[in-house]
Structure 1
Amino acid sequence: MMMERQDLRKNGDVVADCRGSALIFLGTGCSSAVPNAMCLIQPSDPPCRVCSQSLSLPPERNPNYRGNTSLLIDYCQTDGKHKYIQIDVGKTFREQVLRWFTFHKIPRVDSIILTHEHADAVLGLDDIRAVQPFSPTNDIDPTPIYLTQIAMDSLAVKFPYLVQKKLKEGQEVRRVAQLDWRVIEESCEKPFVASGLSFTPLPVMHGEDYICLGFLFGEKSRVAYISDVSRFPSSTEYFISKTGGGQLDLLILDTLYKTGSHNTHLCFPQTLETIRRLCPKSALLIGMTHEFEHHKDNEFLKEWSTREGIPVQLAHDGLRVPIDL
């Protein structure tokens, strides 16, 4: 299950494997993404190695180029038909579509799931129209979008034209993304189904004043995706721990900075300690700032994985992980 950038190349040629179900990492970076713009417009001396590299290497050859965290689930159903489920639609969504939908031959989005309503998770919602059939009068089937009531209330303010159901008198029809808003609960006891795949919400703290959702999914392989977390409530931790609700096959987990701590995200030391506690069969890390250098830090993680008995690596944009769901 653990894969590196070589999944994008075979015998020197770029390839895309489209068989079976897979997880496609559209974005693995922090809210401001990587490269950090400040490192480029006001470079340090010496310049930031990770960010300056972005000027000389194309993104498909640079695992340190990171968009906002986002996961596409390519779900192959029992009849062989594929459904495409998007988790989060952040500020870099259009770029991710152009880069990775085209590469992995993703034709559409069938469902959207939102972890929360912060900018790096929702500000690409207007660009959903780019992956919907063209209709100047909006005469298309809307894409189901699953979110909490708090996120719904926030998005009604951010994107009123995407939420309103009827035009006001005299208002012109304008082509916008068509979305079918479906409110879910912040509870491990309230699963929901998106495009035939069952998801269990995993409420976590994203700062002590805010609840964000992760999601547990997969019957044949048990996967948890948790992109924005500073602390696990005991009920959520129990639900996804080896000694509690059952061992995860794959944990996808937040890690913001290399050292220290942060009030709204796990950082590398806390992320590794969380992995020890939860004890998944394997883990991939997301949400990294420019402090992380992909190859160097994955070398450290290889040693850590051997020592702890849990394979862990940094994910990267464009990574495709085949998985039986």
Structure 2
Amino acid sequence: METKALSQNSDLKMHDEEFDNGVSSLIFLGTGYSSLLPITLPAAGEKPNYMYNTSLLIDSVDENGAHKYILINVGKIFREQVLRWFTHHKIPRVDSIILSHEHIDIVLGLDDIRTVQPFSPTNEIDPTPIYLTQNSIESLAEKFPYLVKKKLKEGEEVRRVAQLDWRIIESDCAKPLISSGLEFVPLPVMHGEDYDFLGFLFGKKSRTVYNSDVSRFPATTEHLISKAGVRQLDLLILDTLYKKGSHNTHFCLQQSLDAVNRIRPK
């Protein structure tokens, strides 16, 4: 998959003729904190740094020019991301979803997936495949029981909700998944020393890694994505929280630069 990156501030535009030639794209729907940006209300007349929760949309184009839209993470204001970026980039739907973990800034928009699904008041539509770990679905069963459960209770009314096909994946580099025809390799990383998180490696022509939340790369994961290890990456998308200092659950700028220096993406 040859890719072209599109930034959240829309300073890079999509070109239809490139898509007709089979060029896939990465659209950053959000690159902000879990609490969003700005963190506090801006002063009158101030133009704030405005960013949504971290989320990536992959417009994967096959050799026949057919598009598949793969969404990694569905944050707290997914509906606003749809209104702003799906309309801007003319994205018609989401074909599949991948979740890195189950924190609120990653999953709270799942209810609004119905906005990018065909309308059916009785939910008679094909469910959207969604890939996640067992730990994540157990957590989501508590947060969104009406999305996870398979059958209505006796006497329970049908209500229109997002239709999702839950598919369990493992936190194992040796067990890739196929989402809308594109292979993804789960990359276990640490998001704080007490919490496992999944980044993802994808792309045939352009080896790309997406890691939105990381505080440490385990040795096996770093070996897989390093130039000195299995094979050099073309693009590394990496968490960076603050310009200065350090944080217990995220890379900050210096840690990110150190990781780039070790991994050596192109």
- TM-score above 0.5: yes
* Aligned 8 A contact 2:8 2:31 in 1: no
- Correspondence for 2:30 among 24, 27, 36: 27
Deviation per CA, 1:213-257: give whole Å up to 9, x if none.
000000111000000100000000001000001110000000001
Is 1:196 matched with 2:181? Answer: yes
Which residue of 2 is the match for residue 317 of structure 1? none
Q: CA RMSD in A?
A: 1.8
Q: Secondary structure at the match of 2:160?
A: coil
Instruction: Determine which structure has greater relative contact order: mean sequence separation of CA pairs < 8 Å that are 6+ residues apart, divided by chain length.
Output: 1
CA distance in 2, matches of 1:23, 1:148: 23
Show structure 1 runs of 5+ residues with no match: 10-14, 55-63, 282-325
The CA deviation at 1:8 is 3.9
User: AA paired with 1:94?
Assistant: R
Q: 1:6 to 1:84 in 2, by over 3 A?
A: closer
Show structure 2 runs of 5+ residues with no match: none
Q: Secondary structure at the match of 1:257?
A: coil
Which residue of 1 is the match for residue 115 of structure 2? 130
Is 1:53 matched with 2:47? Answer: yes
CA distance in 2, matches of 1:3, 1:88: 17
* Aligned 8 A contact 2:172 2:186 in 1: yes
Instruction: Note the 1:200-215 alignment, pairs <5 A.
Output: 200-215=185-200
The structure with the largest helix share of the pair is: 1
Q: 1:210 to 1:7 in 2, by over 3 A?
A: closer
Is 1:106 matched with 2:91? Answer: yes
User: AA paired with 2:175?
Assistant: K
TM-score (norm 1): 0.76
Q: Secondary structure at the match of 2:261?
A: helix
Is 1:248 matched with 2:242? Answer: no
Deviation per CA, 1:168-219: give whole Å up to 9, x if none.
0110000000000000000100001000000000000000000000000001
Instruction: Note the 1:1-325 alignment, pairs <5 A.
Output: 8=11, 16-18=14-16, 19=19, 20-36=23-39, 38-40=40-42, 52-54=46-48, 64-281=49-266
Identity of aligned residues (%): 67
Q: 1:167 to 1:270 in 2, by over 3 A?
A: same
Q: Secondary structure at the match of 1:24?
A: strand
Q: Secondary structure at the match of 1:80?
A: coil
CA distance in 2, matches of 1:22, 1:219: 13
User: AA paired with 2:87?
Assistant: T
CA distance in 2, matches of 1:239, 1:26: 27
CA distance in 1, matches of 2:36, 2:138: 26
Matched positions, count: 258
The CA deviation at 1:2 is 6.9
CA distance in 1, matches of 2:64, 2:169: 28
CA distance in 2, matches of 1:134, 1:185: 32
User: AA paired with 1:17?
Assistant: H
